[in-house]
Structure 1
Amino acid sequence: MKRILLQYDIAHGRLPRPERILEQACFLKEYGLTGIMLYLDGEGAQESLPVRGAVPADYLETLKKGLRKLGLEFVPHIQTLGHLERLLARPEMERWRDDPAGGRVVRIDLPEVRAGMKRYIAEVSELFDSEYVHCGGDEASTLGLGLSRNYLSSRGLENALAEYWNDLHHAVRSLNRKMVLYADELIAYPALRRKLEPEIVIANWGYCAADEVFEAENHHYSAHCSVCSGRGNWMTGNAMAEYVFLPLPRLQENLRILEELGGRSGADTFVISDWGSYENINPMLNTALGSLFILRRLREPAYGMDDFLAEISLLIFGRRHPRFLHAARIMLEAQSMKYWPPEICRWGPVFPRFLAGDPDTRSVITLAAVTDPDRLGVLKRDLAEACAIVDSLPETGVLRPQWLSDLKGIARRMHMTALRAELCRRHAWYAGAVWVTEKERGKLLEDYRRYRALAEQDLQWHKMLWRRDCLPGGLEESCEYLNTAVESAGKALHCPENTLLYFPPEK
């Protein structure tokens, strides 16, 4: 790949300090990174839209200058169709909503929306330093179901969407830029493929293994060569920074698939995405480590788990540290089939849902109900060991003390998540129980107390990370996300009214 970009999501309430992005960019440049992409949704608007976005122009200018000094490209990623729920929630954007209640898709039938998008593209292009403008277009699942339905029905959805995007493409081309679109709508509507202008670059993405539920439902891998045929095309993978810690076996398999598909389609760009999912609670070290693995692997196809572990150890300690290597391996394998049944792994990384999901929600109950209690017990034990090892390592005299400090917090959060997974599992099973013994309830209370103690430390750690790495704003929302998770975990302590705490039951 001649171009490898790292994409930061700054559209969901967290603005990393510019110096943090530049610090990571400088580090990763040594491994082959060629540029930074910022995912903005509609948050990059200054004067072009009815409302001003949350990302100020001086923030972008600081990054632009810093990246130019590093010799790195600076690419904008906006949205022109869906994923605009934050923007559309504002009263000033009412006219743009395809769903009167807000929704996430804009009305492509309105001339004022098209004119506004063209102004936005022109405005954003000047704030960045690239020949490309990524215009999004993914996951517009409600397209055609709102106020523009009659327009799309009368013209034909593919015709209307092609007309809209071709119109924006001409605006992009007039700025001497090239338009990039996600492959989603071309996969869903095959007739669209021949209607879009051939100069539009298609970016396909996928963050899973080939047998996971997402691919079975969306066909990003199986349709790749068809949607990219005859076009410039990009591949978009995932640093997997959003999953509490890197699920490395999944990352390896995902990267293998994308490399193979990109080779077949002649892709010249690889985007490492770093989504701000789960209320922006994940540390930026995850981004650096996930990107490091991808960059290494793209250069060296045989690069694997052992190489990665050794490299992290060398970067932190200047040597292979046996105890650290053991602990880090546990952490990297914690979301793999070593500890979880294949049925769970097919749904994607499990830690985010067990970290913060409400035990009464269907997604958490489903996971909890098929969790293997024996393997989960081993995971709890192993993560407790990893946490103790990493926590015992002194931060003095090491090459990257901040990395080691952050890994201590990550290990603690992983241990905490395993404990909460056990609480969720017991809650799911107790919901239909006839009896629960006092001995079982005692184990539950013990896990809950340990979980609460770790959760309090985790919250303080999260606040410290945010103040160190991010600009003010958004911290309260992310803390509320974590606090809600702690409170909902308490549901595991409440047995149904028909449950007996003794067995055999007393007469």
Structure 2
Amino acid sequence: MKKAILLDISRYRVPIVSRMKDMITNLASYGFNEIFFNIENSLEIKSFPFIGSEMDSYTQDEMRDIIDHAKGFGVEIVPIYQSCGHMFHSLKWDSLSYLSESESLWSVAPNIDSLDFFDKVYSEIATIFDSEYIHVGGDEVYDFMEGRSKDLYPNRDKYEVYLEYILKLRDILKSYGKKLMIWGDIIQNRPELIKRLPKDVIVLYWMYDFDEIPKVYSEIEGRFYISPGLQTWKSEFFRFSYMKKNLKLKSLECKTNNPMGFLLTDWGDGGHIHSPVVTEFLAKYALEYFMGNRINLSPKLKEIISLLDSIHNPDFMNSSLLLDKDEFLTRLLYFEYPISGEGYSTQSIGQLNRFLDISDSLENLDLSDFEEELRNYFTLVISRTEVIRAKIKIHLKFRQGERITDLYIADLIRVSRLSHLNLTKEWLSSSKPMGLFYHNHFHNELEKGISEDFKFYKEGKIKPRFFYDREGCYNLFSVGNRDALHALWERFV
């Protein structure tokens, strides 16, 4: 059985080559024999050199060096190059926006122009990766057939068009001696279509919650993987207890459905705040757990994980504001306005005080026994927790009618800058630097939000607001050319 892990190198964190090699060495020692690289804009494509220029993508020679290293440990590297949805980091460039299905720049239109684009991309990827497979993504195509394709395919079923498009991608890959892999979340909606896939196509079923695997997978003769999640994305601290529940269900499904392998996914949505050492720790733990082996954590490690898990995944707080939002609760609270923010105003005073009580013990944690990289990660999480604590204290003063002075705001900005400094130090020790522009942007927005909130408070103009509704919050994504993005980076430096 294939024992695989997905490393997301497309959400701004691109590990430096030496750290990536170390990670591959460690993952191989745990028992992994396949590593999937999720590549949206993190690999040099010479036909389109601007793709990935904003985040220090790997050069083709660097990737070949990494692949050669992996081969020495018996590990196969499989590329995931999104070829339908998740295409924003290509479509955001002015010269490629014509490929988009809609103004959201999320999916490509399933037409000859898109196929020509991927033909050029695949022609380069096929010469870099030794794997017989290229994973074309194909998941979460929210706007598929919702824009220009409506006129291209009038009165056509969108799932039929989707299947035809995927099969055309397969033909392109076949011309370069490669086979196709695809996520299953779209095509599994029509079981009769998934059965029509050629036998050389591999489908990867993913589910990071607790829904059971659709019956159709048991009918395609093992040509699929089961893919649980390490629960790191869009959060301040990984969701450890939740991960174990997801792994338990998916490991049982592996035993009863006989897939060709499983793929543990370490997604980095939200800027991939978690360092490579976290990926290694969770991968080792999850693999053993998935294989039914007992894991004994040291008492100190168990203590800190349990504490941070309870703080950052609190079941006692109101999460109603998270409906249709991208972040998990404490990530939202980290950026939220401290005085007027709805993330705080929708919590009761009792809930906020309970958060403070539980997180009080962070001050007394002894991290000296942990190796440096893991110690730096825990220090980062604790410092980001301190930002939330400082905001809660200010918000409680406001709710209780106490006066908020400049000193409270100055201290909050000091704490937030210390937190950002910890992130910067950790990041530069393991990853290429330009991905930090994402976090620099949001840190600047955080400070602006704090200052604006205090200004409105002093003027008596406080009303409920939500940080992610800020004009300019996502402006970094709207830059349409390479020079503008580099100018943005230089300004942050």
Which TM-score band (shorter chain)?
A: 0.7 to 0.9
* 1:272 matches 2:264: yes
- Offset at residue 467 of structure 1 (A): 1.8
RMSD across aligned positions (CA) = 3.3
State how far apart, in whole Å, the 2-side matches of 1:168 and 1:157 are: 17
Aligned counterpart in structure 2 of residue 78 of structure 1, from 72, 76, 81: 81
Q: Which residue of 2 aligns with 1:105?
A: 107
**Cα deviations by residue, 1:96-131 (Å, 9 ceiling, x for unpaired):** 1222x461111212x232133233224213212322
* 1:376 matches 2:375: no
Q: Which residue of 2 aligns with 1:313?
A: none
**Cα deviations by residue, 1:14-34 (Å, 9 ceiling, x for unpaired):** 321011122122223222222
* 1:389 matches 2:365: yes
State how far apart, in whole Å, the 2-side matches of 1:35 and 1:387 are: 40
* 1:326 matches 2:303: yes
For the Cα contact (< 8 Å) 2:136–2:180, is it kept in 1?
yes
Q: Which residue of 1 aligns with 2:286?
A: 294
* 1:230 matches 2:229: no
Tell me, what secondary structure is at the counterpart of 1:457? Answer: helix
Greater relative CO, 1 or 2 (CA 8 Å, sep 6+): 2
Tell me, what secondary structure is at the counterpart of 2:107? Answer: strand
2:118 partner letter: M
For the Cα contact (< 8 Å) 2:277–2:373, is it kept in 1?
no
C-alpha distance 401-11 of structure 1, shift in aligned 2 (>3 A):
closer
Tell me, what secondary structure is at the counterpart of 2:153? Answer: helix
State how far apart, in whole Å, the 2-side matches of 1:360 and 1:10 are: 36
For the Cα contact (< 8 Å) 1:201–1:233, is it kept in 2?
yes
State how far apart, in whole Å, the 1-side matches of 2:393 and 2:294 are: 36
C-alpha distance 139-438 of structure 1, shift in aligned 2 (>3 A):
same
Q: Which residue of 1 aligns with 2:373?
A: 402
For the Cα contact (< 8 Å) 1:245–1:286, is it kept in 2?
no
For the Cα contact (< 8 Å) 2:183–2:203, is it kept in 1?
yes
2:141 partner letter: A
Tell me, what secondary structure is at the counterpart of 1:37? Answer: strand
For the Cα contact (< 8 Å) 1:45–1:120, is it kept in 2?
no
More deviation in 134-143 or 164-173? 164-173
Q: Which residue of 1 aligns with 2:449?
A: 488
* 1:10 matches 2:2: no
What TM-score do you get using the length of structure 1 for normalisation?
0.78
Tell me, what secondary structure is at the counterpart of 1:105? Answer: coil
State how far apart, in whole Å, the 2-side matches of 1:169 and 1:483 are: 44
| Residue identity (%) | 15
**Cα deviations by residue, 1:377-414 (Å, 9 ceiling, x for unpaired):** 23323323224323xx44xxx57233223322222223
2:388 partner letter: T
State how far apart, in whole Å, the 2-side matches of 1:357 and 1:28 are: 37
Alignment: residue pair count = 453
For the Cα contact (< 8 Å) 2:239–2:313, is it kept in 1?
yes
**Cα deviations by residue, 1:215-236 (Å, 9 ceiling, x for unpaired):** xxxxxx3463335631511122
Gaps of 5+ in 2: 463-493
Tell me, what secondary structure is at the counterpart of 1:24? Answer: helix
State how far apart, in whole Å, the 1-side matches of 2:246 and 2:212 are: 14
State how far apart, in whole Å, the 2-side matches of 1:107 and 1:264 are: 38
* 1:67 matches 2:70: yes
Structure 1 segment 26-175 matched on structure 2, within 5 A: 26-41=25-40, 43-44=42-43, 46-48=45-47, 52-54=51-53, 55=57, 56-99=59-102, 101=103, 103-109=105-111, 111-175=112-176
Aligned counterpart in structure 2 of residue 349 of structure 1, from 289, 313, 328: 328
2:414 partner letter: A
1:469 partner letter: S
For the Cα contact (< 8 Å) 2:217–2:224, is it kept in 1?
no
Structure 1 segment 416-427 matched on structure 2, within 5 A: 416-420=387-391
More deviation in 230-239 or 484-493? 484-493
More deviation in 37-46 or 352-361? 352-361
C-alpha distance 53-404 of structure 1, shift in aligned 2 (>3 A):
closer
For the Cα contact (< 8 Å) 1:9–1:39, is it kept in 2?
yes
- Offset at residue 344 of structure 1 (A): 8.0
Tell me, what secondary structure is at the counterpart of 1:113? Answer: helix
- Offset at residue 174 of structure 1 (A): 4.5
- Offset at residue 450 of structure 1 (A): 5.2
What TM-score do you get using the length of structure 2 for normalisation?
0.80
State how far apart, in whole Å, the 1-side matches of 2:150 and 2:385 are: 46
Q: Which residue of 2 aligns with 1:314?
A: none
Gaps of 5+ in 1: 211-220, 311-319, 431-435, 500-507
State how far apart, in whole Å, the 2-side matches of 1:264 and 1:372 are: 45
**Cα deviations by residue, 1:154-178 (Å, 9 ceiling, x for unpaired):** 4432222211111222333444433
- Offset at residue 87 of structure 1 (A): 0.3
For the Cα contact (< 8 Å) 1:35–1:72, is it kept in 2?
yes
C-alpha distance 73-228 of structure 1, shift in aligned 2 (>3 A):
same
State how far apart, in whole Å, the 2-side matches of 1:337 and 1:61 are: 43
**Cα deviations by residue, 1:408-454 (Å, 9 ceiling, x for unpaired):** 22222233234446667x69xx7xxxxx5443x45x98875654332
